[in-house]
Structure 1
Amino acid sequence: MSRPRRESTLVTAKVLRGWRLPEPTGGKDSRGSVLVVGASTETLGAVLLAAEAALRSGAGKLQVAVPSKVAPHVSISLPEALVRGLPSTEEGAIRASSAELVLDLAQKASAVLIGPGMADEAETRGLVEALLPELEGPVALDALGLAAVTADPRCMHHLEGRAVLTPNPTELGIALHTGPDDLAEDPAGAARELAEKSRAVVGLGGETSWIAAPDGRLWEDETGGAGLGVSGSGDVRAGIVAGLLARGAEPAQAAVWAAYVHGRAGERLAARVGRLGFLARELPPEVPRVLAEVDL
């Protein structure tokens, strides 16, 4: 599929310094609250990574909704969080019928992230489809949380741009019902296409990150490196997006900053640990250092 080319803005520290994040004015309430919905009994780590990254990005309060079977483990691993256990399938995935139990937390949160570590496409899609109409945003969808967008991109339209999608290349191809060759030929165009269809910001991870806004703006981020291609890395990036949204960043700003912060965190670890072999769990502690580095 041929897509028209469009000029992009290269993301640099200088660009970000001209697009400052909202500055907190008081205690934790001024920095917003973030709700992370996700996990299964086999992929609990994804939520832990995303949740920590959200706090490391500056969010003031953390809430997490996970399958009830793993809720006690989350409470121990994330002492900063309010943890809600949700009914799950026999295989350990969150049931779609859990939407009512999530909704009161979601409506009170400054930002909601849905998807990290979720399993069972049908149940996840049902949960997201039940939640989205009740939310005003900002909302971030990651991983299997994108299943509702794959089925119908219009499900995001009522949010009027107050949403961020954070697919990896495989997930973007699925969402657009396109093959990997077409995506590899023009990843920027593919990101822009999904942004236009969903009316949401799309932050595409990969060797080069592309951030597309529904109004046609496009950013290119070349930070990072091969070491970021590791399990859990995308969950960290999604958590950074959610944390910045909770702080009050507008969706495109949160996605652009997250791409750069995630990439620079990887570069810092590559310099200290090695180009390959650092772990996703080592990325969140680097986030405040990168944010401070940009502020210099």
Structure 2
Amino acid sequence: MNTPPLHAHPVLSADEAKRFEAALFGGDEAKEWAAMNLAGAAIGAAVITDFEEIGGFPKDTARVLVLAGKGHNGGDALLAAKFILERFTAAQAEVLLAFGERALKPLALRAYEALVHAAPGRVRRVRKALGHYALSIDGVFGFQFHPPVDARTATLFAEVNALPIRLRAAVDLPSGLGTVDVMRADFSYATGIVKAPLIDPANAASVGRVRYLDLGFFEGEHTASSAPSVADFVLTSAVLAPLRELRSPRSDKRTYGHLFVVGGSKSFPGAVLMSVLAALKTGAGLVTAFVPESLAAAYAAQVPEAMWVGWPETPEGGLALEGAHLLRERISRASVLLIGPGLSREAETLALAMDIVKTATVPLVLDADALQPEIVRAGKAPRILTPHAGEFARIAGRRALKDFPSEAGEARGGEVVTVLKGPVTRICAGGCVAHSFFGGPVLARGGSGDLLAGIIGGLLGGNSGELLESACRGVVWHGLAADALARERGQVAVRTTELLEFLPPTLRG
């Protein structure tokens, strides 16, 4: 059995989810109705929150299109609309029952009646969706859908996909997923359980961004007997819980680790500075940075909290082999070593990185230009690798991303955790993959990875070398801060380093 990361919930196939829910609810309609209300409220609240990235849900008259099928997904969509209309009293809902009112199952019908009762005069049935909508909520098919989509429903999906809609929400997963007739979503809200099709890269264009809405299905003694053994998990924000607790009154700066950072060059001077800034924000006790000597004084003036060690430079401005003694003389003080941000790919500098990794005895974080095939396999120190897709392809040779995570584990000399950055960041260790849905397009800019490397390095130093826990915690914290940044300032007109301002409030809830 695969051991999941802390505070992660399993990703289940459709059949596994069906069996799990059958055991959870036991056919009890009262329990199912309670869960449907939880799901509807969670979707409604999440939609309102996600609207903040594009200026917030309209406070004046807003048209909401609800597409409901026969069953629970339709009920969830209708109750999500109820939640939204109760909070925005100028909003109006147009309900399109894809298979008619008579086809509604009892709980879906109950949800429809609850919506109509909650917003009298603001809900109307329509047979065709026309015009501009602020929001569409897709609840036509659930995870038990089997292709193909019938011709009439396929036409409906095509018509809705062509409409101008500011935000397209899918309940659980987009209707028709896995077919050419899929309903397109900007956000897919996984209610209670993340189903496997949502994490399939082949479905990414239709799924949009995934939000996991934890409804408490994986709490209590029921989980131990009913949750199947799986390889894929979804991370929750609860991974940050230890950072939200009081620190020991008997602690000092050595309690929280001493991170060494090796990086920087004249060609890429900003990357290492961003990593150091991020590491300091994690609460690291001490940070020492080894950077080209021409940059050290300027960095020290900007960030006096770190200790800056000037390193002899190559003619091109990278770190020279002759400076290796500077690290050797101090390495006994380090608890973690981060190598790579802004390092450059000069042959001499990469040879230096190889020598450092070969002899390292403390945990490593390898990022950016340190992610070379021969370097990531050198030595025996435990390590975290933080590649994006291109860097992963480089260290994995000819093997493709479809081989992740099995091939990621080969790129090592000792224990390894691989953090594959992307729209959904995946953390691999020991055959398990933890998926983080936090973050988003606001991270699609230079420097995001440098901040993440610094966050992970800082956390690892204060976490007794717990690689997987530190990697998961760093990815989630980084992603939650990015979400907060986008909601406060939008996705476009921001700078990468503004994310650092949102690390503290993210911890404070």
TM over 0.5: yes
- Cα deviation digits, residues 237-280 of structure 1 (max 9, x gap): 00001000111250111111111111111101100110223211
User: 1:202 & 1:275 partners in 2: Cα distance?
Assistant: 27
Q: What 5-or-longer segments of structure 2 have no aligned partner?
A: 1-229
Partner of 2:237: 13
Q: Within the alignment, does 1:168 sit opposite 2:394 as a pair?
A: no
Partner of 1:59: 284
Partner of 1:237: 452
Among residues 151, 154, 157, which one is paired with 2:374 in the alignment? Answer: 151
> Normalised by the size of structure 1, how large is the TM-score?
0.86
- Structure 1 contact 22–247 (Cα < 8 Å) conserved: no
User: 2:397 & 2:487 partners in 1: Cα distance?
Assistant: 38
Opposite residue 207 of structure 1, the aligned amino acid is P
- Structure 1 contact 118–145 (Cα < 8 Å) conserved: yes
- Structure 1 contact 39–116 (Cα < 8 Å) conserved: yes
Opposite residue 190 of structure 1, the aligned amino acid is F
C-alpha change, 1:82 and 1:252, in structure 2 (3 Å) is same
C-alpha change, 1:20 and 1:104, in structure 2 (3 Å) is farther
- Cα deviation digits, residues 118-159 of structure 1 (max 9, x gap): 113422321122112332121111001122xx1264314x12
Opposite residue 275 of structure 1, the aligned amino acid is Q
Opposite residue 269 of structure 1, the aligned amino acid is L
Opposite residue 289 of structure 1, the aligned amino acid is P
Partner of 2:482: 266
Opposite residue 210 of structure 1, the aligned amino acid is R
> How many residues are paired up?
276
How far 1:61 moved relative to its partner?
A: 1.0
Is the partner of 2:309 in helix, strand or coil? Answer: strand
- Structure 1 contact 67–85 (Cα < 8 Å) conserved: yes
User: 2:449 & 2:497 partners in 1: Cα distance?
Assistant: 11
Partner of 1:278: 494
| Mapping of residues 114-129 of structure 1, within 5 Å | 114-129=339-354
Rg (Cα) greater in structure: 2
C-alpha change, 1:125 and 1:59, in structure 2 (3 Å) is same
Partner of 2:462: 247
Among residues 410, 426, 440, which one is paired with 1:225 in the alignment? Answer: 440
How far 1:191 moved relative to its partner?
A: 4.0
- Structure 2 contact 258–288 (Cα < 8 Å) conserved: yes
How big is the alpha-carbon RMSD for the aligned residues of Structure 1 and Structure 2?
2.2
Is the partner of 1:130 in helix, strand or coil? Answer: helix
User: What is the percentage of aligned positions where both structures have the same residue?
Assistant: 32
Q: Within the alignment, does 1:194 sit opposite 2:408 as a pair?
A: yes
Is the partner of 1:155 in helix, strand or coil? Answer: coil
- Structure 1 contact 191–203 (Cα < 8 Å) conserved: no
User: 1:209 & 1:112 partners in 2: Cα distance?
Assistant: 22
Q: Write 1 or 2 for the structure with the bigger share of helix.
A: 1
- Cα deviation digits, residues 204-251 of structure 1 (max 9, x gap): 1110000011x2222110110111011110000000010001112501
Is the partner of 2:366 in helix, strand or coil? Answer: strand
Partner of 2:397: 177
- Cα deviation digits, residues 43-93 of structure 1 (max 9, x gap): 221111100111111101111100111111111111111111111111111
Is the partner of 2:476 in helix, strand or coil? Answer: helix
- Structure 2 contact 354–374 (Cα < 8 Å) conserved: no
C-alpha change, 1:49 and 1:15, in structure 2 (3 Å) is closer
User: 2:299 & 2:243 partners in 1: Cα distance?
Assistant: 35
User: 2:343 & 2:261 partners in 1: Cα distance?
Assistant: 11
Moved more, 265-274 or 104-113: 104-113
Is the partner of 2:377 in helix, strand or coil? Answer: helix
Opposite residue 234 of structure 1, the aligned amino acid is G
- Structure 1 contact 124–144 (Cα < 8 Å) conserved: no
User: 1:145 & 1:22 partners in 2: Cα distance?
Assistant: 36
Partner of 2:266: 41
C-alpha change, 1:258 and 1:282, in structure 2 (3 Å) is same
User: 1:210 & 1:23 partners in 2: Cα distance?
Assistant: 30
- Structure 1 contact 192–202 (Cα < 8 Å) conserved: no
How far 1:16 moved relative to its partner?
A: 4.7
User: 1:51 & 1:30 partners in 2: Cα distance?
Assistant: 19
- Structure 1 contact 167–204 (Cα < 8 Å) conserved: yes
